[in-house]
Amino acid sequence: MVKQHHFRPGHYSRLLRWGLSRDSQAVPHLVGMLVSAVATVLITRAILAATGYPQVGGKTLHIAHVLWGGLLMILAMLLLLSFIGPVVRPLAAVVAGVGFGLFIDEVGKFVTSQNNYFYRPAPAIIYVILMLLALFINALHGHRQRHRAEYLAGALDQTIAGVAGGFTRERRAAAQQLLARASGAVGAVETTALLAAIPEDPYELADPLQAVRTFKHRFFDRLVRQRLVRAAAVVVLVVESGYVVQGLGAQLYNRLLDGGVDLAVVQAKSASTAILLLGTVTATATGVLVVIGLIRLTVNPAAAFGFFHHALLVNLLLTRVFQFEVQQFTTVLFVVADLLLLAVVSGERAHLRRRTPTTMSLPTVS
């Protein structure tokens, strides 16, 4: 008989005591929302630029796309508040992401007295907001270990979809996987019986994120495990770091030679000297981390990829913010490259860290 662990407040976080159990499937949905938002901003700006920034509504009215963004976010909330269970969440995540993208794209109009859509720092503001959301998601779901009660709650959440209309094979497998991690929790035995009693049904609301997950598992995950891809990622990181340091450093040098502008003065026509200085400093810090990683690469590959990982985080969280003020379109390409590099570097780092305890007989650090 399975021993069941009863509720003891000391063993639960404050969130659990408040009834706030984290969804074990939340990260794919939240990431899908962020990706949808980013894609919406890029597509919207590309379409507007290609069509000459038309005014929708005629001469007297201007129906800004922030309105459609708000309506889509409300639609996502209506979906989430109207239907029980996990089936609707992928669709709601995409709808919310598109709505948020349309909303945040017009931030320039709401931080300037002239309602200026083309406000130069607007892309940097959008980027910072999206990065803060990503950091919040990581803080909530990335490193905090889940309690078995949360896995049980997740299994029950998946079961709701089956109670209503039967289980697809994928949904049943997801529920069983979560239930296995909830072994010993109060209600796990009863949930197992409920799971077994639910019949199979192949029909379910289409998941708009499934195609992305399938591509990731079948192609991207396999690709990043290739040694040639890992080597290419290191080379690209080195070249990218050197290019950014040289580019920002050259602009800073020219700015200082051109009249000796005070660092505290913000220039109206182009990026301020202060922003160029901060961008150069953070880019140089990235370069230093990359160089240290290269030095450690043959001696301690796990530590080396740790330095590469930190270098990419400095890039994404700091350097790109300042770079947006200098080279907006080019910076978008750098961000995409950084994210791809981060996926490769993080995967290799995790692989090396799993191997390190066995090779070096060190205690495992979670």
Domain ranges of the chain: 18-141, 147-204, 225-355
The predicted pLDDT at position 269 comes to 45
Question: Average pLDDT for residues 38-56, to the nearest whole number?
Answer: 89
**What is the distance of C-alpha 29 from the center of its chain?**
10
Nearest to residue 164, comparing CAs of 87, 92, 80?
Answer: 87
10 pLDDT above the threshold of 50: no
271 pLDDT above the threshold of 70: no
**Cα–Cα distance, 89 to 95 (Å, whole number):** 10
**Cα–Cα distance, 62 to 60 (Å, whole number):** 7
pLDDT: which is higher, 168 or 305:
305
101 pLDDT above the threshold of 90: yes
Question: Average pLDDT for residues 11-20, to the nearest whole number?
Answer: 73
Q: What is the pLDDT of residues 315-332, one digit of tens each?
A: 999 999 999 878 878 899
- HSE (CB half, 13 Å, CA atoms) of 152? 18
Q: What is the mean pLDDT of the chain?
A: 85
Please list, in sequence order, all residues whose beta carbon lies within 8 angstroms of the beta carbon of residue 110, skipping any fewer than 6 positions away: none
Task: Provide the whole-model pTM.
Answer: 0.80
Under a CB-based contact definition with an 8 Å cutoff, are residues 195 and 175 in contact? yes
The burial of 322, by beta-carbon neighbours within 10 Å (0-12 exposed, 13-18 middle, 19 or more buried), is given as buried
Q: Which of 48-62, 217-231, 265-279 has the lowest mean pLDDT?
A: 265-279
Q: What is the pLDDT of residues 150-199, one digit of tens each?
A: 999 999 998 887 887 788 888 899 899 999 998 888 888 998 899 889 89
Question: Average pLDDT for residues 45-62, to the nearest whole number?
Answer: 82
The predicted pLDDT at position 144 comes to 72
